[in-house]
Amino acid sequence: MNRHAKIAALAAVGLALSACSAPAPDTSWAPPEWPTPTLTVTTIPAHLDADAFSALPAFRIRNDDVGVQARWIELPGRAAFDSKVTEIVRASIDARVSAGGVAYAPAVSPPGSGLADRGCISGSTNRTASDILADPLLGPKDGAGVAVVCDIVVATGPYLGQRIRAVSSDSTDTTVVVYANTSTGEAATADELWAHHALVTLHGEIVNLLRRDTDSLGVSVQSPDDAGRALMSAALAQTIVTPDGTLVVPVAAGFTSPELRSLGITPTTERLIIGVPAGLAANLLTPLGADLLSVATRAGQFTPPATTPAGRDPVDCTLVPCVALTYDDGPSEFTPGILDELAKRHGSATFFITGERARFNVELLKRTLDEGHLVENHTFSHPDLAQLSSARVAAEIEETNAAILAATGVPARVFRPPYGEYNDMVLQTAGMAAILWDVDSLDYAKVSDHAVLSRAVDLPRPGSIVLQHDIHPNTARTAGAVYDGLLDRGFVLVNLEQLFNGELPTSGVIRRLP
């Protein structure tokens, strides 16, 4: 008996009863009906325009040996969000490494590679897997390997949501939305917006949705099996919170359950985009999820996070290719222009200054520090320390440390011996690590601008320390072009603290990141 026939038969029974009994029939009686649907079938909300978020730190890595290209954005000073995002990038690389046996190390590309274009390409997470893999802006070399792409999908009040999709030529395809509260620093992957019982509840609601058109109201819904749980947990990890309060959950094809199978309903063959209305979601969200939902429905303007100088944000130089530019012998009238060029590109550098110049440039040193760069010790009067007594070495170092502390309020932590000259006595007396360099730009050697530029751009490898001097006009003149050239090769411009993962060396002689 189908549903309509059953209703007709029940109505006939009602009529029969009314014929032989005095008060009028109770016409309010109705046969059991399906409850109002709790879920809707909807579409994926549009991604946001990535250009609107161009102030956020944007990354892109490419390693042709391992076969990986990845793009993502981070938030200034928000380590929790950044690590959740980079964990996904790392996991994709690790899978590739264990499949191919080639170890990962950050790599750079030849000049002209265009890798200064970083961060999300709008709409890339919605493209087909083969399209992503084949696109040179997104995919690995020759389409063989893994591509990690991103879209900004939510930006409301303090909340930002970044969808990250990792697609590989081995047919794996995983999408996760990572949320951040930019004012508290909290971060969560989308599955963490849902309370523990949400998975089973929503699974049951989807089963009900799929069997509504069958005559199966009496069949009770069981808990999902392992495959059902895996499908649901992958779906919840992609939840998008929309301004009307609906939580959109894309459930991959293949959804089924024992009761659907028993009803002869075949597994879904296409992605099913489920809308969970706010009313149902209310009982299923964690406090963070509930807060995000309530903010989203107030349609608040996105509040971008407070800006942090690029030099203060940790950079993982084992994931991205880093280069540490260093400027010696200043500060001078050329230093402000160099700082301007660094700021335009969200780059950071290290300035090894002399104590005798510090006294006349207090404001400039303050600015250098405030903009996130490091101010370190290059002695007081720039002598060859190896030729001095230990007492004079001590005076050169200590007077400069005092000048740096007086100007910036922050003590110097490393030094650079003038001319790169040192011996054991110098190292012991200085009591700090001596930072040398592995790339000399020759900016002091009266070579052409072209020569400085090509040395500073072409020679660095990931982890290099580059020697320049902010007392020469050619150094200032070529600064912007040097940064652009390095960014184009894929480098991130870091200071020495970032190069050493937040832990500046305390002793010994350093020429580059080991």
Q: Which is nearer to Ni ion, 82 or 329 (CB)?
A: 329
Closest separation between CB of residue 387 and Ni ion, Å? 15
CA 354 to CA 328: how far, in whole Å?
8
Q: How far is the CB of 382 from Ni ion (least distance, A)?
A: 6
- Confirm if 98 and 168 have CB atoms less than 8 A apart: no
- Shortest Cβ 424–Ni ion spacing (Å): 21
- Non-local (6+) Cβ contacts of 368 within 8 A are 331, 335, 339, 351, 375, 408
Asked if residues 159 and 138 have their Cβ atoms less than 8 Å apart, the reply is: no
For residue 173, give the H/E element and its range. Answer: strand 173-181
Given the residues 373, 469, 470, 488, the one annotated as active site: 469
Q: Interface residues with Ni ion (CB under 5 A)?
A: 328-329, 418
Q: Which of 151, 191, 291, 328 is catalytic?
A: 328
Residue nearest to Ni ion (CB): 328
Nearer to Ni ion, 281 or 430 (CB): 430
For residue 106, the Cα-to-chain-centroid distance in whole angstroms is 16
Per the annotation, the verdict on 328 as an active-site residue is yes
**Does residue 439 contact residue 511 with C-beta atoms inside 8 Å?**
no
User: Which regions of 309-450 does DSSP assign to beta strands (E)?
Assistant: 322-328, 350-353, 374-377, 414-415, 433-435, 439-440
Q: Based on CB atoms, which residue is closest to Ni ion, 296 or 365?
A: 365
Show contacts of 134-140: CB within 8 Å, 24+ apart.
138/69, 138/71, 139/69, 140/62, 140/64, 140/67, 140/68, 140/69, 140/169
Only one residue has tokens 């009602």, namely 14
Residue 144 CB, nearest distance to Ni ion (Å)?
A: 47
Q: Is 469 a catalytic residue?
A: yes
Residue 414 CB, nearest distance to Ni ion (Å)? 14
Question: Which residue number, 65 or 333, has a Cβ lying nearer to Ni ion?
Answer: 333
Of 297 and 381, nearer to Ni ion (C-beta) is 381
Pick from 406, 240, 416: nearest CA to 324 = 416
- Least distance (Å) between residue 378 CB and Ni ion: 6
Other C-beta atoms lying within 10 Å of the C-beta of residue 284: 21
Of 86 and 326, nearer to Ni ion (C-beta) is 326
- Phi and psi dihedrals of 215, rounded to 5? -90, 70
The dihedral through the CA atoms of 278, 282, 283, 284 has a sign that is positive
Catalytic residues: 328, 469
